[in-house]
């Protein structure tokens, strides 16, 4: 009897549970869904934080506006090239290549980024992104794909211009990187690891970074906006959506340390690449080196700023201006010199044939001479091969 009663009781309880569940699933105009805590007629939940500071909302809107406005001018670049394989044992005779067979070249794929600078299809990127490329594909933000050709590249600064056959394109706006201050917002848009149209945000960590060993001529913007492989050639932007730099390199051993070529340095190079496909630079005909503390002390200087002349090219612009080995250059065109890398940047921007006042220290006396930069394409080589010197 008890067993029958227990079964009957369990059946009644189960039926009651089913009715309760069914009742819970029924809908009416006054009931709310069990899984959502909402008092809004749209069914959306109330935000846990109801009062967000106005400046945070304004910053968020600014980032969104930059993304919507600038992303259409950012492109993804993919290249296909051939690279020669290095023989594992260089001392082996050539017939080992025949024995092991072809190929002795490897087909490489690479990904990068770029940004449109004109409505008729000129695009800026890094030179290393398109170097030795057999084919270049450019993908726009609307997923349209074009074949591109290289207009010109400058390995010394790692800047290149490519071209696609298109019209009415959204062009990016180049800003003034000379006005940057540490702590300002920095925004990177690109193609990291093939993840298209990715946007990261950080700040300007430093400006004027040089002697990094990345390029021949360096004047990098440092940022902690996340930059990864595939971001190369893409734009670094300010909060106004202006391009202030070309994302170029990262410190592989660290995090949040990326470098971009400033637009103030890139603009004249881009102009030359578009106009003639190559870059022509000025030349002084000097061998230069930094100033050591001992040398500064012997010259009666309080700092090691400046550039020491170690040698001259016979008949070069510097020799014609009266500059001598052992002179310390302290000013070039009215700009105080910091070190050899600084002089390199100034000479790179100098106009060929235009006189430049140069202030120097010789034997404890200050002198000013007028130097007329020559054309680097007609430069005479310096004969010294001693290490620790930079030729310019």
For the annotated catalytic residues, the residue numbers are: 128, 158, 232
Run of H or E residues at 18: helix 2-25
Q: Which two tokens stand for residue 5?
A: 């009663």
Q: How far is CA 134 from CA 76, 137, 193, 341, in A?
A: 17, 10, 21, 34
The answer to whether the CB of 219 falls within 8 A of the CB of 211 is no
Please name which of 390, 85, 80, 11 lies closest in space to residue 217, comparing C-alpha atoms: 390
In this structure, are residues 204 and 220 in contact, taking their beta carbons and an 8 Å threshold?
no
CB proximity list for 306: less than 8 A, separation 6 or greater? 291, 328, 329, 330, 337, 339, 361
The pairs formed by 13-21 with CB atoms below 8 angstroms and a separation of 24 or more are none
Dist CA 189 CA 227 (whole Å): 9
Kindly give, in sequence order, each residue whose CB lies less than 8 Å from that of residue 72, ignoring residues fewer than 6 positions away.
Answer: 140, 141, 142, 170
Cβ-contact 226, 258 below 8 angstroms = yes
Cα distances from 276 to residues 218, 269, 270, 346, in angstroms, run 23, 11, 10, 22
**CB-based contacts of 86, cutoff 8 Å, min separation 6:** none
Closest CA to 124 of 228, 296, 245, 255: 245
Q: Which helix (H) or strand (E) holds 347?
A: helix 340-349
């Amino acid at each position: 009897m008890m067993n029958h009663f227990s079964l009957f009781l369990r059946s009644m309880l189960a039926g009651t549970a089913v009715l309760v569940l069914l009742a819970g699933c029924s809908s009416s105009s006054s009931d709310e869904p069990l899984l959502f805590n909402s008092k809004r007629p749209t069914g959306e939940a109330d935000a846990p934080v109801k009062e967000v500071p106005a400046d945070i909302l304004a910053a968020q809107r600014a980032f969104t506006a930059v993304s919507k406005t600038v992303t259409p001018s950012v492109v993804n670049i993919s290249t296909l090239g051939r690279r020669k394989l290095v023989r594992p044992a260089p001392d082996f005779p050539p017939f080992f290549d025949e024995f092991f067979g072809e190929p002795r070249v490897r087909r490489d794929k690479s990904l990068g980024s770029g940004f449109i600078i004109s409505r008729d299809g000129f695009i800026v990127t890094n030179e290393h992104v398109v170097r030795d490329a057999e084919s270049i594909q450019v993908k726009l933000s609307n997923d349209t794909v074009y074949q591109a050709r290289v207009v010109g590249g400058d390995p010394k600064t790692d800047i290149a211009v490519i071209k696609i056959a298109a019209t009415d394109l959204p062009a990016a706006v180049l800003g003034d990187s000379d006005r940057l201050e540490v702590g300002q917002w920095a925004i990177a848009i690109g193609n990291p690891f093939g993840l298209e149209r990715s946007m990261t945000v950080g700040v300007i960590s430093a400006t004027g970074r040089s002697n990094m060993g990345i390029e021949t001529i360096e004047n990098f913007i440092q940022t902690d906006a996340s930059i990864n492989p595939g971001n190369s050639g893409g734009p670094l932007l300010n909060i106004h959506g202006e391009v202030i730099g070309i994302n170029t390199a990262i410190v592989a051993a660290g995090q949040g340390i990326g470098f971009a070529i400033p637009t103030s340095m890139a603009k004249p190079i881009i102009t030359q690449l578009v106009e003639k496909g190559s870059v022509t630079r000025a030349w002084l005909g000097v061998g230069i080196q930094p100033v050591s503390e001992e040398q500064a002390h012997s010259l009666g200087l309080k700092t090691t700023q400046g550039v020491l002349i170690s040698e001259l090219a016979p008949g070069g612009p510097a020799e014609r201006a009266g500059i001598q080995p052992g002179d310390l250059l302290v000013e070039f065109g009215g700009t105080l010199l910091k070190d050899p890398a600084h002089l390199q940047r100034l000479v790179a921007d100098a106009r060929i044939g235009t006189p430049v006042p140069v202030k120097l220290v010789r034997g404890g006396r200050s002198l000013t001479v007028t130097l007329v930069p020559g054309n680097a394409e007609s430069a005479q080589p310096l004969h010294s091969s001693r290490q620790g010197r930079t030729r310019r």
